[in-house]
Structure formats: structure tokens, C-alpha cells
Amino acid sequence: MDKIRNIGLFFLMLFSVTSCTMTGRDERKKDVRKPYVEKSVPSKINNRIISRSEQQNNPKVNHDTDKVIPATELFKRYNSAVFMVFTTDGYNAYQGSGFFISKDGLAVSNYHVFKGTAVGYEVIKLSDGRQYKIDRVLTKSESDDYILFRIKGRFNYIPVSQRQCEVGERVYTIGSPKGLENTFASGEISQIREGDFIQISCPIDHGSSGGALINRYGEAIGITTGGRDDSGANLNFAKDIHVVPYCMK
């Protein structure tokens, strides 16, 4: 397929867009261009070593340490920190979610949102309509289903929590299920599975993958991964954000 040369043509593909789920992606023809999964990762990131400048920019501490934020205020505060992700393998278009975790453009999403897609053909769409490209992929993991990347610019962001998640804790999600941009939902942590899977009662649907799971203190605690609807049971999950090296406790 010839190289896509403009955003207009790219978005024409979205009429048949496929959203991402935790169970993976539909099989499709192999793309001849270099995919994200082949992009090299800096060794220092692989060894979980973060530079001093990145440590200083790491928003690990919420200055309102124990202040519970009302749900309406929480959405107003962080809506603009969550974005839509559009990717393509050259044959099909896909949609997911992502969010910023630092003011200088450090962002996270699910690995499977980008799996098999071509570098440079993604669109990061903010809630105000601005569109960006990924400047650099810092690290990624298929097994832990995360990707950490940087976008050039200054952005609103969600600070990363250093708290221990607890079953029954009130949580909130912001993502774009089925392309419904920046949908806000609430629920509780239902269970912690396998150490780093957070089962939640917040609804998750296709396109929510990569969105933010936020605690009542306004801190990011997880990356929404997907949902399962088995025999009418609505089961929803997020990956603990601390699996990402930059976000480690």
C-alpha cells in the first residue's frame, strides 16, 4: 500500500475502524513497513534506569496528599490529560486511548493498541482537537501490555500514585469506548489479580484500551486494558501502572 501522505486520507479509514481489547487484535495482512514492535529500546530504560532530569520531572507526588477530589472536579482537572489514539497497519485503522503522566509529554497506553502498526502513521488526538505524532518510544512490553512514549510539547498530566491499591477503593476511568471521546465512569476495585491486574467495576469497552484508571485522590493507578463479557458477566480490567519502569514505586 502506498504511503499515507495526509491526515484526511487517514481518517477516511476510520469508517471501518476496529477498537482494541485485552484479548488482542484481529488478524490482518502483514505490513511491510517497520512496526512499533521492532523499534529498539534504549538500554538504560531496559535496565529500569531513569535519568536525573526525568526523575525531577516525574509527577509521583500529589501535593494534595490525602485530599479526596470530588468526581466532577476530578474530570475537569484531568480530562485534557487523556487522549485518543488512532493507528493503522496500512490496511485497517484502529482506535484506543492514552494519557500523559508528565508535563513534558511523557505518556502511556497499551502495547496492543500499537501492536503491528507502522511507526509515524499514528495520530494522537487531544480533547481540544489538537493532533500530534509520537516523538520517541522509550520502552514497551507485550507481556505487561504497556508502551511508554514521549510527545513534544507541554501538556496537562495525571500524577502517578505511590499508594497501595485496595479492594473496595473508589476509582474512576477516562477513555474513549467505541470512539466516544473521553468518557468518564466510576466504580470500585473488585479484586487484584496476579499481582498487577486490577479488576474494576467501571465499564470498559472497545476503544477504552490505554485509558486512565484514577483513584479518588486524583492519581493514576492503572492503564485500562479491556473487558470481558462472559455469559453476561461484565468483567473489566486495568494494568497496574507500576509495571511501567518510569512509574515504579
What b/e string do you get for 2-40 counting C-beta neighbours within 10 Å, with b at 16 or more? eebeeeeebeebeeebebbbbeebeeeeebeeebbeeee
User: Euclidean distance between the first and final Cα of the chain, in Å?
Assistant: 44
**What type of residue is 248?**
M
| From 19, 97, 145, 240, the catalytic residue | 145
Inter-residue contact 113 to 210 (CB < 8 Å): yes
Q: CB neighbours of 11 closer than 8 A, spacing ≥ 6?
A: 86, 123
Residue 224, beta-bridge partner list: 238
Inter-residue contact 142 to 37 (CB < 8 Å): yes
**What type of residue is 127?**
S
Residue 19, beta-bridge partner list: 95
63 is catalytic: no
145 is catalytic: yes
| From 102, 112, 205, 208, the catalytic residue | 112
| From 102, 208, 209, 240, the catalytic residue | 209
Looking up cell 479491556 gives 226
Inter-residue contact 219 to 104 (CB < 8 Å): no
Query: Around Cβ 164, how many Cβ atoms within 10 Å?
Result: 9
Instruction: Report which of 119, 113, 120 is spatially closest to residue 145, judged by C-alpha positions.
Output: 113
112 is catalytic: yes
Element (H or E) spanning 53, and its range?
A: helix 52-57
**What type of residue is 104?**
D
| Catalytic (active-site) positions | 112, 145, 209
